[in-house]
Chain A
Amino acid sequence: MEPLTWSGALGAFLNPLMLAAVAVFILGFFANLALTLAGQRAGEIVVNPDNTLTEIKTPVDYALNAMRYAVLLFVVCCLGYIIGGIALPTLEAKGIIGAMAARLTPVWIALVVTFALSITFKRRLGLYGKLFDSPIGMIGFGLVMFWIFSSVFAGMVATHGPIDVISQMRNEVPGSPLPTGEDGLYPYYLLGGDNLGRDVFSRMIFGGQEVLKITPVATLFAFMVGITLGLPAGYFGGKLDTLLTFIANLALAFPVILLFFLLVTPEIVAAGVPQYMSMVLFIFPILFFAVLFNSRFSIQPMKRNILLALVLSIGGIGYMSLISDASDPDLPLIFRLWPEWLDLFDIQGNILIVFVSVVFVNSPTVFRIVRGLVLDIKTRDYVAASTTRGEGPWYIMLWEILPNARGPLIVDFCLRIGYTTILLGTLGFFGLGVSPESPDWGSTINEGRRLLTIYPHPALPPALALMSLVLGLNLLADGLREESLKD
């Protein structure tokens, strides 16, 4: 079989158009630059004496318009590839881009549905809805949702398994067909094979799944820790505040990279240090929810008791399952007491370490942010009002202050997921990642980097994927910030 071309049958028609769009954009940009430097200004709208408006156009406006249309044309071409990819009958006609677009069909559908619903009901959706007023925010949201949906539908999108090896496909360029005799498999490696003959495209998709499985949860844990400690520190102040701030500064002063290296050392793992850390860190979510419900329903003992019992039992079992692993004889005794039949899941050693270090690195910063917000909010009138009402301090913190601090916290949450993604990649880069064959982006970049100068194709897709996800999160955060400030 012939290898696939990048653009397939549509290429003959769309490629020149796209090139033209790019050329016009660049020309427009330089024309604009030159004109601006030469002192030309963009046109203005002038009010005529007869109360009509006239728009005076200058060459700058024409240049800008040309750029605008070029971008539009480019976007249309991209859409053309996607639609063409889905519509065209054979893989050869689709080309690599078209075939990828076709594989991503479930993602497109989900994205279209999400956007359509959100934009239709955006006035009723609060801050989330307002996001759709900001183009930057929408682009960011789109990028993030693209990766979320592609991880959700990874099984349908990916063409091969993440660690399936076809040795003949080693380092093959994008669009290479599988050797004959491999029946029942997708007949091409869309983005080529890596140095072990695994499909780069599928690894990128599964890598996203890997990353999105870890980072949001880890960030969420960091937030729980930061919030549970930051609220009382800011609210009560005094000695407690001094102590907690000191500890947070201590953790912040600890060089991240040193911490990683220390935590993944086999000896330190054998001594159970990550386990002890997880023991401390993972108690906070339970604490958080327990206090949350307790403060809210303290006047309805029945409801409170039920909720507390639920939190404590579900949280307790989850917590114990998380930190204990009776089947690992190397662990200190304390982590092997929990009976195996109650141990719902064991977290693979490396994931736990990555998780713990990421939570540990992020939570002091969250603590500082929360503390700062509380210091600000607690002077507001509604806090004073609820104090007069006789509400308990925890109720005020969790049900009065926290909801009003949500804006900056949500923004920071988005940014922090991006940062955590980068951290995870850093770990992978030093070979300290999730597991050696894991398709997560950091590890694949690290593996691909070795042969980068001859075969750039295994390293570039995960690198660009990581960039686009982080960029999406940052843009989303930016959009959210802008919209939340408009209040």
Chain B
Amino acid sequence: MTIHPRTHLATHPVAEMYADEYKAGKLSRREFMTRSTALGVSAAAAYSLIGLAPSTAQAQMATPPMGGSLRIQMEVRALKDPRTFDWSQMANVSRGILEYLVESRADGSFNGVLLESWEANEDASQYILRVRPGITFNNGDPFTAEDVAANFIGWCDSTVEGNSMAARMGALVDPDTGVAREGAIEVIDDMTVQITYPASDITLVAGIADYPAAVQHRDLIGTNPLDHGIGTGAYRVTDYEVGVSARLEKNTDHTYWGEAYLDEIVFIDLGQDPAAWFAGAEAGEFDMTYETVGEFVDLFSAIGWTQSEVVTAATVVIRPNQNNAPYDDVRVRRAIALAVDPQVCLDLGINGQGVTAENHHVAPIHPEYAELPPITVDKEAAAALLAEAGQSDFVFEITSIDDDYRRNTTDAVAAQLRDAGFNVERTVIPGSTFWNDWTTYSFSSTNWNHRELGVIILNLAYRSGVAWNESGFANAEFDALLDQANGIADADARREIMARLQSIMQEEGVTLQPYWRSLFRHYRDGVINADMHPKFEINVHYLGVAA
């Protein structure tokens, strides 16, 4: 094992290689930042590798004045064990108490929060995590390597129902016992933890930056933060009414390790209807949206709010579930894919605010994206394929949530299928009940958030039998290739396998995935550091309002 000596601008041999690629124009800056910071290179060092001064290149955050109160429009959902969080909204509230080891920034870089730094060995199979010194929990206990290790063990516990962190931990989980592998997580000293994978894995940092990876006190793994309120963050929850509002207040009894500016943050739940959000904005009920969608982007701008946009790999999939007939027949799935033009979905679904995608759920902004031949849309061929499968009379029931863009996109799919001669019925389920069985509907739409790497998404959603595999896709070849891809640190090398993975997705007609969304957020003048994040993260510690 080689540990590179940590100097201020420590780098990594692979990162240096990426830097060359960037300079040669083979990598975008965003991809370069994602890849190199994932290997433990600090954002500043990464910028210096490509010859940019961090202060000019990085979206520099302003320092807001102390004090003030901010109201954010966001759904307030019942909190639970953070490992089982299924909504970034939950984490946005809990982030006031429970912080993360690492956070991902809007520019694609990873930034240490509770970790001061991390390093990977050359084949990315072993990571050294260094804890930031001087952090205490609000009950007075110091934050140490023990806490980090305890959280890792908790995340690896795939026996906990709904623990989506287990999928993110990948090979750290022993497939036989369902818990962390012996010796995978080692506490080296008070401030250092060593993570060892059986093979190389590059998704670790991205995984622990994701919203279910909130760090709990070592004795409180698996509990609801709302019940105990113990964490490292600068805030405490004073009110929490599901569906109505949540209120965070600066915890004056606790010495926070960093800076926190606002005295109070209120999350206001105005339901799922963007029209209601807009009405609330016009009525001056909040200062910042969680997300602005569709036509409302222009509307919010029209009333003078500041717009913040980020291009992401956030998307909507309209997937048949292969555990249901006739979707177990690949011809039917192919026919569906042939009949739907992504451009129409983009126009009708999200007002053209995004770019078209190719039904394989790997985005061009992902570093390992492989360019495939453009997909074809051929309604006659679709009808012929459907007839061949003997399902011309089958009534396709497409389910969606009752909201704006997801419903419209699904309606657009339904209309196009009808055009191609499919027999289609639509079902719309209210937002509150939709998610109760979102993985089991026979044909339905789901929105997926942005992830930093293509393999992360494929691991989460398309590997056989994982918790969020909503398409019921189970393919041994796909799983094997995915394992292989997970172990390749070099994105170019990974791309070859990705090309195969992506084309399996298309050939099997696993899902319709018509577009990548640009995400928008609006805030009033005077709100500071509220820019849109590709994964909807709101870090309450950074926010501020101009005096």
Contact = CB atoms under 8 A, between A and B. Distances in A.
**Chain B binds chain A:** yes
Interface of A: 163-165, 167-168, 170-171, 195-197, 266, 431, 435-437, 449-455
Q: Which of B273, B299, B415 has the most CB of A within 10 A?
A: B415
Interface in B293-348: 295, 298-299, 344, 347-348
Contacts of B90: none
* Category for how many chain B residues contact A: 20 to 34
A437 B411 contact: yes
Nearest to B303: A453
A165 B415 CA distance: 6
B273 A450 contact: yes
B347 A170 contact: yes
B404 A450 contact: yes
B459 interface: no
Top 3 A-B pairs ranked by shortest CB distance? Answer: A165-B415, A436-B428, A436-B426
B299 A454 contact: yes
Contacts of B429: 266
B418 A450 contact: no
Contacts of B416: 165
A454 B282 CA distance: 14
A165 B426 contact: no
B426 A435 contact: yes
5 contacts: A163-B418, A196-B348, A437-B414, A451-B295, A455-B295
A470 B429 CA distance: 29
A6 B44 CA distance: 62
A195 B296 CA distance: 13
A167 B428 contact: no
Q: Which of A431, A449, A450 has the most CB of B within 10 A?
A: A450
B275 A452 contact: yes
A61 B464 CA distance: 86
Contacts of B419: 165
A451 B348 contact: no
A349 to B, nearest CB: 10
Nearest to B436: A266
Given A435-B426, A436-B426, A167 B347 contact: yes
A473 B415 CA distance: 35
B526 interface: no
Contact of A431 (B348, B411, B430): B430
Nearest to B404: A450
B275 A449 contact: yes
B278 A453 contact: yes
B295 A165 contact: no
Given A196-B348, A450-B275, A451-B295, 8 more contacts: A165-B348, A165-B412, A435-B426, A437-B414, A437-B426, A449-B275, A450-B404, A453-B275
Q: Which secondary structure dominates chain A's binding surface?
A: loop
Interface of B: 273-275, 278, 295, 298-299, 344, 347-348, 402, 404, 407-408, 411-412, 414-416, 418-419, 425-430, 433
Contacts of B344: 167
Nearest to B431: A431
Nearest to A449: B275
Contacts of A436: 407, 411, 426-428
Contacts of A195: 348, 408
A210 to B, nearest CB: 15
A167 B412 contact: yes
B409 to A, nearest CB: 10
B426 A450 contact: no
B348 A197 contact: yes
B283 to A, nearest CB: 13
Contacts of B407: 436
A196 B347 CA distance: 9
A449 B407 CA distance: 15
Contacts of B347: 167-168, 170
B428 A196 contact: no
Nearest to A350: B427
A33 to B, nearest CB: 35
A168 B402 CA distance: 23
Contacts of B404: 450
Contacts of B433: 266
B411 to A, nearest CB: 5
Contacts of A170: 347-348
Given A163-B415, A450-B404, A435 B275 contact: no
A451 B299 CA distance: 10
B415 A196 contact: yes
Contacts of B275: 449-453
Contacts of B274: 450
Given A167-B344, A437-B426, A451-B275, A196 B412 contact: yes
A164 B416 CA distance: 10
A422 B43 CA distance: 60
Nearest to B410: A436
Contacts of A455: 295
Contact of B299 (A164, A171, A453): A453
Nearest to B416: A165
A167 B426 contact: no
A431 B428 contact: yes
A195 B294 CA distance: 11
A165 B408 CA distance: 12
B255 to A, nearest CB: 47
Contacts of A437: 411, 414, 426
A400 B433 CA distance: 53
A431 B402 CA distance: 8
Contacts of A431: 402, 428, 430
Nearest to B346: A167
A437 B418 CA distance: 13
Contacts of B426: 435-437
Contacts of A196: 348, 408, 411-412, 415
A165 B412 CA distance: 8
Contacts of A164: 415
A271 to B, nearest CB: 16
A165 B419 CA distance: 9
Contacts of A167: 344, 347-348, 412
Nearest to B425: A435
Contacts of A163: 415, 418
